Amino acid sequence: MSYCLNPTCQNPQNLGDAEICQSCGSKLLLIPDAQASPASRYRTIKPIGQGGFGRTFLAVDETKPLIFSQCVIKQSLPQKNAAEKAAQLFQQEAAQLEILGKHPQIPELLAHFEQDGRQYLVQEFIDGKNLAQELEQKGAFTENQIRQLLNDLLPVLHFIHKSKVIHRDIKPENIIRRRLSPTPLASLENSFLPSPFQKDIFLVDFGAAKKVTTPGLQPTGTIIGSAAYTAPEQLMGKAVFASDIYSLGVTCIHLLTEITPFDLFDSTEDAWAWRNYLKTAVSDDFGCILDTMLQSATNRHYNSASAVIRQLNPKPYLETSPVLDAPETTSERVVTPAPGVSLFTRQEQAEIQQALQDAIAPYNVIIQVNQAKHKLNIVINRNQDNPIYYPHLSHIITTRLTDLQLNKVAAVKLLGRVHNSRAPEWQQVLQIDPKIQLRNKIIRLHHNNLAKQIAPLATKDFWLPKLRTKDFWIDLLMFALVWFIFGSQIVIFNAMFALIISAGFMVVKYQVSQKKEFANNNLFATLVLLFLMAGSMGNSRILNTGIFGFLLACLVVASPLFFIKENYQ
């Protein structure tokens, strides 16, 4: 089947080997450069999309083997009053794709040229369905699916923004999930291409993308993009990098709810009401991430893709750029660490190695772990006929190392080898970021048992039964007495120190009471007696000395230990 590219053709369907359209007489084959290569190359098969400035076709490159021949052709077809703008955008898209198409999750630009007064872009074909089609067929996405989508797509946005480009049209239709390829990876020339089993999300359609030429606030430009997903500043013609983050956030809530973005926004409250349409609630931390992505003010939402990644995957390791084919020193091949500098015992090292091996078991590689001083060396061994995408394995290993909480480790070096070859084919270093490590500790604190024990203190069910007991009021009076003794003229300490002593007294009493019972009346009477004695000596200078006050404080804090009922039986 050949499809005629003449937009006015009444019957564009033609036989597969035809060179001239039987309906309008137009050429059916596209030749990128007739002088340099007179052989015909691209044959369009069928249309697969149409936009404001042109059409998109599935095509084949007849000069390539059948299995590699499929491609996508974009034909510039603007309205008469927008021809100049369309030509400018077309050339701009071609220039950007020359660079951006090198990323493994962006379709590669194969050619761009003009023929018969129309401009054409030829790109790599991604065999799959976009997320709008997937949503229609399979229904709403889950939180885990959206998390995976963000983890797959945010690094692509980070790459685009580092290249000083704003996509400006992120929406479900422009995100394609590639089908699993039947082509054996061993047949590919470059073994470092991502396997279809690893990265299946692609970002397409850079027709609206904009190159950022100056830092800071951008001058007002053309309003472009899909209105339902477009950030407020972009609607004013002032798109920034954060505008793509906003559009991605809108895409996520659309996929979570199956509701169009226009219906998810509550104009009366000037806020997104996406939670009202969820079939299954999302976690609080993930909901906060989406809310921040959807903030209308640029100073309140994420200003970079890496900021979202850090919030989405809190971990103490930051990856540096991989160093390919770097020379390896002899020390890097040492498997047994020097005596006296081991981070872990042999048993602990074996457990770490087994945990990492289990994490990447589906990829048929062997993990070896060795240690030297405060660094771990992790070797990934693969077979010659098993090409893998090392950055993907690096992400899995990094996540697993984070779960293991190896606080003694200062850095981790990853080495990729074929059959334990001497020279690594890939290297990467992971280093701990103290700021992220501190944030992770705070996050873990929110989820540990201590936090769960403290949580009931904010409920009425905890306090109401206690208010009806005698012991509660005696404890309250004890706390007040201790605080008064050490925070007044009786013994001169400042109020904060007195509060610490009082709290220490109650903590000791509480801890002992878990297994023992107190003679509360006797303990209370002793404190009253202490209060009266200290009060009668209030003007004595000996009580105002630091050492006496400190000893008295220690005695009062420890006093519950002397009033356990067992001692009086």
Confidence of residue 437 (pLDDT cuts 50, 70, 90): low
pTM metric for this prediction: 0.54
Residue 308 sits in the same domain as residue 172: yes
H or E, element range at 83: helix 83-100
Q: Is the pLDDT of residue 320 over 60?
A: no
Mean pLDDT calculated for residue range 242-249: 94
Q: What angle do CA 447, 401, 411 make, to 5 degrees?
A: 120
CB atoms within 10 A of CB 125: 19
Handedness of CA 267, 272, 275, 278 (dihedral sign): positive
Residue 410 sits in the same domain as residue 476: no
Single out the residue in 99, 124, 149 at which a domain terminates. Answer: 124
Single out the residue in 449, 479, 509 at which a domain terminates. Answer: 449
Cα 210 from Cα 88, distance rounded (Å): 11
Highest-confidence segment of 6-20, 324-338, 419-433, 527-541: 6-20
CA proximity to 477, closest of 523, 511, 512, 537: 523
251 and 170 Cβ atoms separated by less than 8 Å? yes
441-495 pLDDT, tens digit per residue, is 665 555 555 556 666 777 777 778 878 877 788 888 888 877 777 776 566 567 7
Query: In which domain, by residue range, is 402 found?
Result: 317-449
Residue 12 belongs to some domain of the structure: yes
Q: Show the tokens assigned to 280.
A: 């299954």
Mean pLDDT for all residues in the chain: 78
Q: Is the pLDDT of residue 198 over 50?
A: no
Cα 58 from Cα 74, distance rounded (Å): 9
Instruction: Give the distance from CA 232 to its chain's centroid.
Output: 24
Domain count, the chain: 4
Residue 94 sits in the same domain as residue 46: yes
Residue 120 sits in the same domain as residue 132: no
Mean pLDDT calculated for residue range 58-82: 82
Residue 347 sits in the same domain as residue 237: no
Q: Is the pLDDT of residue 290 over 90?
A: yes
Report which of residues 404 and 382 the model is more confident about.
382
Residue 242 sits in the same domain as residue 257: yes
122-145 pLDDT, tens digit per residue, is 999 998 999 999 999 999 999 989
DSSP letters along 470-492, please?
HHHHHHHHHHHHHHHHHHSSSS-
Residue 304 sits in the same domain as residue 324: no
Residue 454 belongs to some domain of the structure: no
CA proximity to 157, closest of 93, 240, 226, 90: 240
H or E, element range at 150: helix 143-162
Single out the residue in 250, 285, 312 at which a domain terminates. Answer: 312
pLDDT of residue 566: 58
Residue 23 sits in the same domain as residue 65: yes
Looking up tokens 């033609």 gives 14
Report which of residues 138 and 339 the model is more confident about.
138
Known catalytic membership, residue 169? yes
CATH at residue 214? 1.10.510.10
pLDDT of residue 324: 38
Across 498-537, b (16+ Cβ under 10 Å) vs e yields: bbebbebbbebbeeeeeeeebbbeebbebbeebbeebeee
Residue 188 belongs to some domain of the structure: no
pLDDT of residue 510: 78
Question: HEC string of 216-267?
Answer: CCCCCCCCCCCHHHCCHHHHCCCCCHHHHHHHHHHHHHHHHHCCCHHHHEEC
Residue 424 sits in the same domain as residue 470: no
Q: Is the pLDDT of residue 84 over 80?
A: no
Instruction: Give the distance from CA 361 to its chain's centroid.
Output: 23
CATH at residue 384? 3.30.70.2960
DSSP letters along 390-443, please?
HHHHHHHHHHHHHHHT-TT-SEEEEEEEETT-SS-SEEEEEEE-HHHHHHHHHH
Q: Show the tokens assigned to 29.
A: 């084959």
375-387 pLDDT, tens digit per residue, is 888 999 998 888 8
H or E, element range at 463: helix 460-467
Query: What's at 95, amino acid-wise?
Result: A
Highest-confidence segment of 36-50, 104-118, 505-519, 548-562: 104-118
Backbone angles phi, psi at 367, to 5 degrees: -100, 135
Report which of residues 466 and 425 the model is more confident about.
425
Backbone angles phi, psi at 211, to 5 degrees: -85, 130
* Percent of the chain residues past pLDDT 90, beyond the cut: 23
Q: What angle do CA 306, 307, 310 make, to 5 degrees?
A: 85
**Per the residue annotation, which of 169, 200, 205, 475 is the catalytic one?**
169
Query: What's at 511, amino acid-wise?
Result: Q
CATH at residue 99? 3.30.200.20
Residue 177 sits in the same domain as residue 300: yes
Cα 342 from Cα 325, distance rounded (Å): 28
